[in-house]
Amino acid sequence: MTTIAETYAGCPVFLTGHTGFKGAWLALWLTELGARVSGYSLSVPTQPAAFDLMHLANHLTDGRGEIAEAPAVRAAMAAAAPRIVFHLAAQPIVRAGFRDPVCTVMTNVVGTVAVLEAARHCPTVQAVVVVTSDKVYANDGGPWAFREGDRLGGHEPYGTSKAAAEIVTETYRAAAFHRAAGSVSVPRIGTARAGNVIGGGDWAADRLIPDFVRAIAEGRDQTIRQPRATRPWQHVLEPLGGYLLFGAGLLAGADLPPALNFGPTETRMPDVETVARHFVAEMGAPATRVIVQEDPQAGEAAVLRVDSSLAQRVLGWQAAWPASRAIAETAAWYAAHARAEDMRATSLRQLAAYRAESPVAALR
């Protein structure tokens, strides 16, 4: 297989959500590969933030705007003239979806439409990777791992909006739609469904690791609301490598499925309490206690697993770091930040270590 370095060196890329946690790490990786990245996003979502700490504004075209504003997205994409689009811009917080369902749907559904509309009007675009979520599946609480052909649905606004974005994307794959709509470009489109990611540089509210980072910095205890819940925990670099492989395959014209899961291959994942206690221990923060206070009204699924065997089969993608290593690397990043180290250099070292240890030759 062609390596990602061969695919993306000099490649013009349009990346939405580049100021967010996952978007910043993907921007770092792409720019290190030599891609010419044009970002499009709202303002940096938190202070501090990975985007600022990695000094990414110096290494890409930093475009700002509302993702649901279709004319602005179309103009920005036309100016970038990309070969490939990675669409990561989203309202990504489950609990924020309960507080503001309208904003969640507008950003995640209408925003996806705006990006796909821009892509079909941009003659240079050959491929689009739309990043959704492992929460697109109609989760009835069963212990099995979801596969790409399982029913989509949602019981809360975030999951529902991401499932709707998947359905919207189906239209933009349909040749009949493009013929009737008179599309200038008919890019190859894939959707990527990632598990729960952790890693350095995330300070979003209502996320497990960032909540503990704040608690440790303030020397206080932190409460968890669903201690026995399990998620497909993985380091942020794991699915990003999958997105890059997926995009490379689409650009190469490979016969790929329309959607792929990217999640850990471990059969038993740690629950929320285990992850929290492991992270606190790795941070060396005895002053912060994990307080368990179960919330039966949390509104989130207790069990979530995804089956990534299809991505392994068609892309050769494999996870490199188990959950324990992901937690350790995440803690190491935040500890370095607490010591006021150069976080761009720290992030690049973690990226280099991940690539060196990846079992996927195309990612090295």
Domain for residue 117, yes or no? Answer: yes
Q: Which two tokens stand for residue 80?
A: 């970038």
Q: Which two tokens stand for residue 244?
A: 């890059």
For 141, which DSSP code? S
Number of domains present in the structure of the chain: 1
Domain for residue 143, yes or no? Answer: yes
- Find out whether the peptide bond into 12 is cis, omega within 30 degrees of 0: no
For residue 229, what pLDDT is reported?
A: 87
Instruction: Specify the CATH number for the domain of residue 147.
Output: 3.40.50.720
Domain for residue 364, yes or no? Answer: no
Domain for residue 329, yes or no? Answer: no
Q: Which two tokens stand for residue 124?
A: 């240079």
Domain for residue 180, yes or no? Answer: yes
Instruction: Give 10-residue mean pLDDT values along the chain (364 residues).
Output: 91 98 98 98 95 98 98 98 98 91 97 98 98 92 87 93 97 97 98 94 95 97 92 95 98 97 89 96 96 72 85 97 97 98 98 97 96
Among candidates 89, 76, 108, which has minimal Cα distance to 12? 76
Report pLDDT digits (tens) over 234-293: 999 999 999 999 999 999 999 999 999 999 988 888 999 999 999 999 999 999 999 998
Domain for residue 63, yes or no? Answer: yes
Domain for residue 153, yes or no? Answer: yes
Record the pTM.
Answer: 0.96
For residue 326, what pLDDT is reported?
A: 97
Classified as helix, coil or strand, 238 is helix
User: Is 185 exposed, middle or buried (CB count within 10 Å of its CB: 0-12, 13-18, 19+)?
Assistant: middle
Q: Which two tokens stand for residue 313?
A: 């089969």
For residue 122, what pLDDT is reported?
A: 98
Domain for residue 276, yes or no? Answer: no
Give residue 93's domain range: 4-197+233-268+304-323
Report pLDDT digits (tens) over 140-151: 777 789 999 999
For residue 267, what pLDDT is reported?
A: 80
